[in-house]
Structure 1
Amino acid sequence: MLNKETAISKDMFAPAHIDPSKSEKISKPSLNFWQDSWLRVKKNKGAVLSLVIIVIVIFLAFVGPLLTPYKFDTQNTKNNNLPPRIQGLENIHWLPFDGTLKRKNGTEYNPYEIREVKEYYWFGTDGLGRDLFARLWKGTQISLFIAFMAALVDMLIGVTYGAISGYLGGRVDSVMQRIVEIIVGIPNLIVVVLMILVLKPGIVPIIIAIALTGWTSMARVVRAQVLKFKNQEFVLAAKTLGASNGSIIFKHMIPNMFGVIIINTMFSIPNAIFFEAFLSFIGLGLQEPNASLGTLVNDGYHSMIAFPYQMIIPSIMIALIMVCFNLVADGLRDAFDPKMRD
């Protein structure tokens, strides 16, 4: 039975007092497209962690060579092929920074003590005695520069070409798409070899070679989006008000495609880094004394058995950058277009 304290009274069934002035008040602030997308990105822990790692890597790519007293191109053959050693960690033998190496018979030795080297090389040295810490961050800087420049050129050419092709349509679209198909059919490696024959091996021919063939995927994606937007109401309204074709494409259509453009650009950056590393690995990339992640892997490959750290460290950096950029691009894709989420 209900006691007096829990008894139900008629006062409990009185109608609630509702303030008419607050009946249509929105308690949650309104968000625009970018704010709403950022909230979805923050929920993706992998994308946020990858974004933080990318920022740290970009920062160290410019600051890292200044943290060590050795320059990336300074040779010291007396200190060649030294393993990683960090001050304060050299006595912790279970860490790979104690300056020891293993012989073929399994015994360990310390080349720092044998050669009486007092310097500390955080990532060791290569066959010419150059500091791998400085060379790693200098190589990361050059690889990221090539990737960002290639992605920027791809975005500019691909967006413009795809938007014009999709908007004009008809015979112009057919001719422009046949040109794209011809470019897609040409292997990138052939274009790179032709660029190197015309120009000297270096950063410029690599960027040109990637830019000449890398914009086709962006052009196709933008063309598809333009075909979808072309007959929608805001485009028809702009035409009715007398807007020019250029104004409709670049002021009305492309701003509505920023999400797709950013996603494709983010995916193109790791592809460019991998392509540059591949070219440098086969000897078609940067030449000495310049360094990139691909050249560092190529140098370490020749002495992989005796000095594995020379190839492992730049390989880890390449894998880290590619994984992080892909995770960020995947998170942006889910944030900008939740319908594309699996």
Structure 2
Amino acid sequence: MAKEDMKISKDKFAPAILDASLGEAIGKPSLNFWQDSWLRIRKNKAALVSIIVMLLVIILAFVGPLISGHGTNEQDLKRTNLPAKIPVLESVSWLPFDGTMVRNDGTVVDVYEQKNIDEYFWFGTDSLGRDLFTRVAKGIQISLYIAFLAALLDMLIGVTYGAIAGYFGGRLDSMMQRVIEVISGIPNLVVVILMILVFKPGIMSITIALAITGWTTMARVVRAQVLKLKEQEYVLASRTLGNSHSKIIFKHLLPNLAGVIIINTMFTIPNAIFFEAFLSFIGLGLSSPLASLGTLIDDGFKTLRLYPHLMIFPAVFISIIMVCFNMIADGIRDALDPKMRD
């Protein structure tokens, strides 16, 4: 190869033309804290699936009684203890939705044909001939109502109490913490029994019991966070500008605690659902004819060996709700934690 061919052109040694403005260009769209948290939740498949399942359950709870065509307390002794029968699925042999029941001698009987019933009862009926699908949907409504009410009370009482105790500190904080210790030392079951003696078993007694004892954990968490945040520079700047204590607490401190409050609230909801179901199961919860998931499980447990569908369906739904809320709470905790990394 000739030397002339091996020479490199002087144009290739020319300095590169650099645009300084490109160094500060933003390659991705700017996201705020909540948008970034939502992206983290979307990457959490378990939390995303749980959100979708819970939305479907909530839709079922409110739309179910409207599409079933039966009332919650509508009784008909001609259709007592019917097994589940669902259109289309009744033709699938390996699914228990064909309206048949196995007797003690091992024979399979079509109960619908035996009782001359042409209707479909998706979850079957109970001992009084009431549609179990409608009652399960209504039970989900009541259980979710009690759970969200408990979460609301946690936020209103616990957050306010903990923020005041942590912000002012000193003797006031010490006195308020002693009150929390006294309330925490009283078992929830004792409070519920006292409420039942004053009121009647029902939503009112459970609500008051949760209002008395359920907010203490939230108050302690918020107090600990406020003790840490109240020494920050932006709080000192707000005091210097002459802002009132209430404005500093509710405008500067609590918005920075939104993540902690949301996480604790999400964990409160499944605990409240389980607490209500436990009380109803032992006979201290809702009374007839009201139906919650706990009362339905209690009724089905009494005839579990004869009519298992009476317990299986409400037990499945309360399990789904408990698991979904816990998975959502875990996902929100990971999304709102600034220490987490993708």
Range of TM-score over shorter length: over 0.9
TM-aligned CA deviation for residue 331 of structure 1: 0.4
In 2 relative to 1, CA 9–88 (structure 1 residues): closer, same or farther, beyond 3 Å?
Answer: farther
Corresponding residue number in structure 2 for 1:79: 79
Name the amino acid aligned to 1:283.
G
Show the 5 A alignment for 1:54-203: 54-203=54-203
Give the partner amino acid of 1:90. E
Question: How many angstroms does 1:207 deviate by?
Answer: 1.1
Shift of the alpha carbon at 1:242?
0.7
Relative to structure 1, the CA distance from residue 71 to residue 231 in structure 2 (aligned partners, 3 Å threshold; closer, same or farther) is same
Q: Are 2:19 and 1:49 equivalent residues in the alignment?
A: no
Q: Give CA deviations for 1:19-50 in whole Å, capped at 9, x if unaligned.
A: 23333221222111101111111110000110
Per-residue deviation, 1:9: 7.3
SS of the counterpart of 2:261? helix
Residue in structure 2 matched with residue 4 of structure 1 by the alignment: none
Report whether the alignment pairs 1:264 with 2:242.
no
Gaps of 5+ in 1: 2-6
State how 1:232-311 maps to structure 2 within 5 Å: 232-311=232-311
**Matched AA of 2:269:** I
Gaps of 5+ in 2: 2-6
The amino acid that maps onto 1:97 is F
In structure 2, the CA distance between the partners of 1:10 and 1:303, relative to structure 1 (3 Å rule), is farther
Q: Could you tell me whether the CA contact under 8 Å between 1:333 and 1:340 is conserved in 2?
A: no
Q: When the two structures are superposed, what TM-score results if normalisation uses the length of structure 1?
A: 0.94
SS of the residue 1:109 aligns to: strand
- Measure how far apart 1:154 and its partner are: 1.1
Alignment partners' CA distance in 2, 1:207 and 1:275 = 11
Distance 2:208 2:33 in 1: 35
Aligned: 1:315 with 2:315: yes
- In 2: Cα distance, 1:181 partner to 1:8 partner: 84
Q: How many residues matched? A: 336
Provide the residue aligned with 1:210 in structure 2: 210
How many angstroms apart in 1 are the aligned matches of 2:326 and 2:179?
29
- The 4+ residue runs of structure 1 with deviation greater than 3 A are 7-16
TM-score (norm 2): 0.94
Distance 1:83 1:247 in 2: 60
Quote the offset at 1:175 in angstroms. 0.9
Displacement, 1:10? 6.9
For 1:286, the aligned partner's letter is: L
Q: How large is the Cα RMSD of the aligned pairs?
A: 1.7
Change (3 A) 1:235 1:114: same
Instruction: Give 2:4's aligned residue.
Output: none
CA distance in 1, matches of 2:59, 2:8: 67
> What CA distance in whole angstroms lies between the structure 2 residues aligned with 1:139 and 1:297?
10
**What letter corresponds to residue 65 of structure 1 in structure 2?**
P
- For residue 94 of structure 2, give the secondary structure of its aligned residue in structure 1: coil
| Letter matched to residue 204 of structure 2 | V
Provide, for residues 146-179 of structure 1, a one-character-per-residue CA deviation record: whole Å limited to 9, x for no partner.
Answer: 1101110111100000000111111111111111
C-alpha contact (below 8 Å) 1:150/1:207 kept by paired residues: yes
- Percent identity over the alignment? 65
